[in-house]
Amino acid sequence: MEEILSEQHYIVVLLCLLIILVLLLIRYRLRIVRIFPKVSVGNAQIIGSREEQEDSFATAENNNAIMAVLADGMGGYSNGKMVSSMVVQTFVQEFTNAVNVHPVENFFINAANLSNRAVLDRAKGKMMGSTVVSVVISDGCLQWVSIGDSAIILFRDGELINLNKKHTYKSVLEDQYISGLISEEQLINNPRQKRVTSYIGAEILKDIEISEKPIKLKFGDKVILCSDGVYNSLSEIELEKILSKSSQPFETAEKIMQTIEEKNYSKQDNATIIVLSCN
């Protein structure tokens, strides 16, 4: 009888140890899942005082990766809405059809070149152009591409971090000023400051700016993609104030558009924003 009880006691102890081991494994697996922030998305858009909305945007998923893209059809060129829409559709199609989006740099380059070729084929000699910014978040890391003057911004710990460089003649002038080639007065008074120097639809893509390395995202980070109608209308302080509030990304995006509209600028450009919130 004592031997039977001893065996039963031994079995119970083993079962308890097994249960504890299983629970520890489950806990470990749950912790692994939450290593990467969960990304939620919001967006908003206004037409401003323009006759047509020439901004286009989209988000898409492929396995565990999420992609956001925003394109701003260039004012003064033909069919801005059609061009920006073509660019966005190309990025979405290439992303969703990819068996593996890695390396992300290759996806960006391929999507940009395909977009450029599609626009040139459609233009048939006419001047057509669009900016594009796109981000991919995968395994908790951010990578991005930029062509033109739309913006990619990381909001972290209450501060805005501008990730991309705007491809405008102003950037060229600033480099010349830093190098001592022109004066401050020449920099400030140049009438071509806002001219975009790289864009989809150019015969040769001069600048395809891609993140040098993945950025590891933190809980609480917000990634912003926006057209120039946003950053030309709001100061960094105004953006920081809105982004600092722990709202849902759709509410944040809508609040930014509302703040722009309340300014009632007579020459308000199209404004579009995508907010990716890491929770």
Whole-number Å distance between alpha carbons of 9 and 258? 69
The pLDDT value given to residue 105: 96
The pair of three-digit structure tokens given for residue 143, joined into one six-digit string: 């990578």
The pLDDT value given to residue 31: 47
Other CB atoms within 10 A of residue 122 CB: 15
The pLDDT value given to residue 32: 43
Classify domain 46-271 at the CATH class level. alpha beta
Q: Model-level pTM?
A: 0.84
* Terminal-residue alpha carbon distance, the chain: 58
| Signed CA dihedral, 153, 270, 199, 61: sign only | positive
**pLDDT per residue of the chain (279 residues) written in tens, 0 to 9:** 545 545 666 666 567 677 777 666 655 554 444 567 899 999 999 999 999 999 999 999 999 899 999 999 986 676 889 999 999 999 999 999 998 889 999 999 999 999 999 999 998 878 899 999 999 999 999 999 999 999 999 999 999 999 999 888 777 777 888 888 888 888 787 777 778 889 999 988 888 999 999 999 999 999 999 999 999 999 999 999 999 987 899 999 999 999 999 999 999 999 999 999 998
Is-contact 120 203, C-beta < 8 A? Answer: yes
Domain ranges for the chain: 46-271
